[in-house]
Amino acid sequence: MKPEIHLFGLSIKTFGVAFAMGFLASGAVLARRLRELGRPVDWAYEMIFAGLVGGLVGARGYYIVQNYDQVKGDLIGSIFSGSGLVWYGGVIGGALAVAAWARWRGLFNLGLLDLAAPMLALGYAIGRIGCQVSGDGDYGIRSHLPWAMGYPHGTVPTPPGVRVQPTPIYETLAMGLVAWALWRLRDRLRPGGVFALYLVLSGLERLLVEFIRRNKEVLAGLTAPQLESVGLVVVGAAAIAWALRAGGLSVGLRPSS
C-alpha cells in the first residue's frame, strides 16, 4: 500500500490521484457521447466541473453528518480537512450541481440521467483503485482466501499478520463491468432506461459487497450503505417495470460500438 507518493519534494495522496483520474476518464467518455449526440463537446468539461465541486461538498458534508460526534470539537477544521469522503454524499452533491448546470444549459431531462450513468459507474470503479492503493479502510473482513491481503501500511492499517477481503478490487471489477455494459446499451434503451439499470446494478453491487465489509449494522442486520442501496434498487426496478408496462425498454437500434 502507498497512501502517498513523493515527487519533487511534494507529497501527493494516491487516493487523490485516482480521484482525479476518475473525473478525467469520465470527462473523456462524456465528450465522446456528447459528440455522438451532436452537442457541444465543451459541455463535458462544464458538467464534470459541476459534478466535481458538488461531489466534493456532498461527500465531505455526508462524512461530517455521519461522524458528527467525532468532528464536532473542531467542526470548521473538519469541513476543510482533506480527509473523509463518502461516496453517497458525493453522488447527492454532484447530482444537485449537475442538475443545476443542466437546467442552465436546457438539458434537464431523462437523457441527462442516461448520459451520466456510465460515467458514474466508471468514476466509482476508478475511485476504488485509490481506496485499494491507499488502504483507506474500505477493505473487508478477515479472510483466509488465497487472494486475501493485509494493509499494514495503509492510511487505516490492518494489524500485523492480519489478512482481509480486498473489497476495493471487487468493486473496481464489478463497477467497471457495469460501466462497460451501460455504455454498450446507450443507444438501445428508451430515455431513462440506462439510468434505471445503473440504479439496480450499482445498488446490487454495493448491497452484496457490504456483507464482507466492516461497516456496522444499523437496521434489520443491514448497514447504512446497504439500506441506501436497497432504495436505489427499488427505484430502478420500479422505473424498469413502468417502462416494460408502457411498451418496453428497447428502442430496437443497432448495437453500439
* pLDDT beyond 70 at 13: yes
CB burial readout 217-234, b (16+ within 10 A) else e: eeeeebbbbbebbbebbe
CA distance 50 to 95: 9
Alpha-carbon gap, residue 37 to 16, rounded angstroms: 31
As given in the structure block, the three cell numbers for residue 62 are 455526508
Farthest-apart Cα atoms in the chain, separation: 61
Query: What does the pLDDT look like over 38-97, one tens digit per residue?
Result: 999 999 989 989 988 888 888 777 777 766 666 566 555 554 455 556 666 777 888 889
Q: What is the pLDDT of residues 108-146, one digit of tens each?
A: 888 889 999 999 999 999 999 999 998 888 899 999 999
Contact between residue 149 and residue 1 where contact means Cβ atoms under 8 Å apart:
no
Specify the pLDDT at position 85: 63
Residue identified by cell 440506462 is 194
Strand-pair category, 4-7 with 217-219: unpaired
CA nearest 202: which of 186, 219, 182? 182
Domain boundaries, the chain: 4-187
Of the listed ranges 38-47, 72-81, 154-163, 217-226, the least confidently predicted one is 72-81
Q: Calculate what percentage of the chain has a pLDDT beyond 70.
A: 88
For helices 193-209 and 224-245, what crossing angle results, to 10°?
150
Distance of CA 159 to the CA centre of its chain: 28
